Amino acid sequence: MGSDTVMGTAERRRTPGADEAYVTPQRSAEASDRDNPVGNAGPYRPLWVEEPARRRRLPDPVRTAAVRAVLLIAVTLLQAMVAFLCTMAGSWLAFPMVISSVVSTIAATWGALDVWVTRQVWSQRHGVVSMPSSTARALRRERRRSRRQARADERAQERIRRRGGAGQLSHP
């Protein structure tokens, strides 16, 4: 057996009696893999490309309420399942589990309503993005148009008064 096959990686890095390191073909393949993890000759490509989120992240209070609601609903479903199994088995634990399931159902309903209310409150406090087709914008546009028309009519009447009634068909 050759001495090269018995040597480990540390021994192969240095030649016996030499101060400088040499690279074996196996070492150079490792280095090229580290420099280019994809394995092709092109530039480095990341493993994934981050895409922008399709929807914005929920505000913190709304997200907190949603997590709370999901936990309450999960516990409620678990309790309902245990109550059902205890009832089918005829266990003494069935009655307390049914009672706790009813209470937990009320709490889960409150949690779901809490998410809805928290979202509404957050939207009212922090404003809603106005869309071009929103009703409020259309109403403002209509009001502006009527004010412009009123000012134009007023200027026309003022012009007639300044001319001293010229252009009227009959004088009183």
Q: What is the pLDDT of residue 172?
A: 54
Q: What is the pLDDT of residue 9?
A: 52
* pTM metric for this prediction: 0.46
- Structure-model confidence comparison of residues 134 and 21, the more confident one: 134
Q: Using CA atoms, how far apart are residues 65 and 117, in angstroms rounded to an integer?
A: 10
Handedness of CA 131, 132, 133, 135 (dihedral sign): positive
Residues 6 or more apart whose CB falls under 8 angstroms from that of 87 comprise 94, 98
**Cβ–Cβ under 8 Å, residues 12 and 24:** yes
Q: What is the pLDDT of residue 166?
A: 58
pLDDT of 24 above 50: no
pLDDT in tens, 32-85: 555 555 555 567 788 888 888 788 888 899 999 999 999 999 999 999 999 999
pLDDT class for 89, splitting at 50, 70, 90?
Answer: very high
Q: For 13-23, what is the mean pLDDT?
A: 48
Position 116: which residue type?
W
**Cβ–Cβ under 8 Å, residues 145 and 138:** no
pLDDT in tens, 92-146: 999 999 999 999 999 999 999 999 999 999 988 887 655 555 667 778 888 999 9
